[in-house]
Amino acid sequence: MADLTLLDLVTLQRNDVLTGLVEDVTTYAPEFSVVPVTRRPGTYYEIVRRTALPTVGFRNVNNGTTPAKSSFKKELKEMFFLDVMINVDEAIYKGDDRSTGDILSHEAQGALQQAVITIGAQFYYGTSNAASGFGGLRSQLSGSVAAGGTTTSTSAYLVWFNPWGVSFDVGNDGEIAMPPFMRQQVAATTIIASGTGHLFAWVSNISCFIGLSVKSQYSVWAITGISGTGSTNKWTDALAAQLIALIPLNRRQGLTWFANRQAVFTLQAQRTVTLFGQGTTLPDQGVVAPQPTSCMGFPIIQTDSLTNTESD
């Protein structure tokens, strides 16, 4: 059975405004429609991880062994309040001729787009993206290998999707709320920074409690420092093999790569080959590899949420 995603969660709540707007938005940040999501009561929960098994040994007849036990670690998992405010000046609403559709729907679409983009960036960069949000994959790597780039580089993340692996958590039993627009007096500065006085506006918001849960310590891996400058600093199949060699065998089912266009291009470039000819009669000819859709047997999802300005 396929895992539930944030896209499914919004759709299942049967909010007509949101359902009609989601499909095109997911192209900006595919994390929204790919990463599994779990509905949680409240805004936090605790998990217990086994960190070591009991010691086991053989013994001779009439001779005992030392009792042993597992080791455990308890962790707190939190969900953080995401809030996108929507204020539409009443004058704009009344003056809209609806020729391109309802202005309130347009504003709701813009708010949802920004929420999706923010969640996508937070997924990787955590509090470096938004200090009041959840921690990202970047700070929870199980292991990594470096391609060699520095301040103008990106990374390819290999993520384990499993009930014990990586997922989004949405609190209050999975509520993603957008109340109906209501007419309300607001300060003009809530719409434009240079505004003065007060005005009537149609207001609403999109909100939810959301967190990123990395349950097992063997869930997130990365090839860092991918810049593609010159002939070095590329994402290569050899680096991918080196990274996968770090991953325990029982964590290799359900892995998915996330990478941006620069990283995928470098992987494609290193797979491009030259067919050597015979002088001027049959000159050398480059054969460009197809755009990669997988690496070492695991699918690649391209995303704009990853930047080219990471520091490694």
Poorest-pLDDT segment among 90-104, 146-160, 197-211, 258-272: 90-104
The answer to whether the beta carbons of residues 59 and 65 sit under 8 Å apart is yes
Residue 17 has pLDDT above 50, yes or no: no
Supply the mean pLDDT for the chain: 85
pLDDT band at 24 (very low <50, low <70, confident <90, very high): very low
Compare 21 and 153 and report the one with higher pLDDT. 153
* Residue 20 confidence (pLDDT): 43
Poorest-pLDDT segment among 20-34, 125-139, 269-283: 20-34
What is the DSSP secondary structure assignment for residue 173, as one 8-state letter?
H
Q: Pairing state of beta strands 255-259 and 154-160?
A: antiparallel
For residue 286, the one-letter residue type is G
pLDDT band at 19 (very low <50, low <70, confident <90, very high): very low
Judged by DSSP in three states, 74 sits in strand
Distances (CA, A) of 66 to 53, 58, 104: 14, 11, 70
Q: What is the pLDDT of residues 205-233, one digit of tens each?
A: 999 999 999 999 899 999 999 987 656 78
DSSP alpha helix (H) spans, the chain: 6-12, 16-25, 31-34, 90-95, 103-125, 171-174, 237-244, 261-271
Each as own residue / partner, the long-range contacts of residues 138-141 (CB below 8 Å, 24 or more positions apart, any chain) are: 138/222, 140/214, 140/219, 140/220, 141/220, 141/221, 141/222
Residue 22 has pLDDT above 60, yes or no: no
Q: What is the pLDDT of residues 97-136, one digit of tens each?
A: 777 678 888 888 888 888 989 999 999 999 999 999 999 9
* Residue 282 confidence (pLDDT): 59
The answer to whether the beta carbons of residues 157 and 257 sit under 8 Å apart is yes
Alpha carbon distance 41, 54 (integer Å): 33
Alpha carbon distance 78, 43 (integer Å): 6
Residue 37 has pLDDT above 80, yes or no: yes
pLDDT band at 1 (very low <50, low <70, confident <90, very high): very low
Alpha carbon distance 123, 115 (integer Å): 12
Cβ contacts of 70 within 8 Å, gap of 6 or more: 50, 52, 53, 54
Alpha carbon distance 222, 202 (integer Å): 45
Residue 13 has pLDDT above 70, yes or no: no
* Residue 256 confidence (pLDDT): 97
pLDDT band at 21 (very low <50, low <70, confident <90, very high): very low
Q: What is the pLDDT of residues 227-259, one digit of tens each?
A: 876 567 899 999 999 999 999 999 999 999 999
Judged by DSSP in three states, 312 sits in coil
Tally of residues, the chain: 312
DSSP alpha helix (H) spans, 160-246: 171-174, 237-244
Cβ contacts of 187 within 8 Å, gap of 6 or more: 195, 197, 198
Compare 302 and 283 and report the one with higher pLDDT. 302
Alpha carbon distance 187, 199 (integer Å): 6
Residue 200 has pLDDT above 60, yes or no: yes
Alpha carbon distance 289, 277 (integer Å): 18
* Residue 23 confidence (pLDDT): 41
pLDDT band at 192 (very low <50, low <70, confident <90, very high): confident
